[in-house]
Structure 1
């Protein structure tokens, strides 16, 4: 599951000029892990990094569908930004940390909706976040983000399909 949601399922190596993360393999960027040579990163090393994100983002405390959507956001945008997106989605106070109040707001939001709907709302919020990135006023970054837009949209489509397949 983590390989499918976290990074390139084939472990492809990319080094796109438009990617501020620099070189990437299995979705792990050289910028985020400067002490690693991501070009030679193994699947097992990538899995360990995914596990770290999974735990830091508290995905182990979320329903599966919500956890998968939240993990993908945490892996791509950072644990704090993912927490903010989740908090805005469920109507919790936005502080970038998942604590008791956020989990209570999530429980209330889940009532009558179910995890799949909450996951869909998280993915929708991610789409809005991406649109905001592309529309940033800072021109050079806006151009970089626009170059990455197609990949981000494809990722959200695949994530939506994955969440739909992986939930009963």
Structure 2
């Protein structure tokens, strides 16, 4: 696990917390950011003792490493992909990035996959402030398009817009 991942995981856990079982949460029971409903492959015995360390390993495997986030040179984009991808699923957030890249003249396929094409395009783009602002806006548009019955939308919008100090361009 890289220092960038460990820092982002700590930021993520500030929002996610240790345990939640909010009846309005479509994920249901949640431990350290992972919901029982969306992670049915976790055996009952393991779920009973699910820890922050278990979540850290799963976040590394399923989000950071699988989506090659260490290859993204823009820290704020790493943050947005990881944090918002954790909330909404990586594919729609990666598609937000790909749409932004296209709008900024770095033409890539909008497929929700972070491959060589997307990594090269995002790393080539030099105006990190413009990229950050465009990404924030695209994610907000995506969130606003979610069903209004989502009780968490306002918190997610705030989370998307939050300035995390050095992560902000």
* Common fold by TM > 0.5: yes
Equivalences, count: 153
Aligned to 1:25: 31
CA shift, 1:118, in A, is: 2.2
Q: Map of 1:12-161 to 2, 5 A cutoff?
A: 12-34=18-40, 35-36=42-43, 38=47, 40-52=49-61, 53-63=63-73, 64-91=75-102, 92-108=108-124, 110-111=125-126, 113-114=127-128, 116-134=129-147, 142-143=148-149, 145=150, 147-157=151-161, 160-161=162-163
Which string of whole-angstrom CA distances, capped at 9 and with x for unpartnered residues, describes residues 3-33 of structure 1? Answer: 3333345733111122111111221111222
2:77, 2:117 → 1: CA distance? Answer: 17
TM-score normalised to structure 1 length: 0.77
Q: Structure 2 length normalisation: TM-score? A: 0.77
| C-alpha distance 101-133 of structure 1, shift in aligned 2 (>3 A) | same
Contiguous gaps of at least 5 residues in structure 1: 135-141
Structure 2 unaligned regions, length at least 5: 1-6, 103-107
Alpha-carbon distance between aligned partners in 2 of 1:22 and 1:51, rounded to the nearest angstrom:
22
Contact kept, 8 Å, 2:84 with 2:160, in 1: the verdict is: no
Q: CA RMSD in A?
A: 2.4
Can you list the C-alpha shifts for 1:24-75, whole angstroms capped at 9, x where unaligned? 1221111222225656421111111221110112111102221111111221
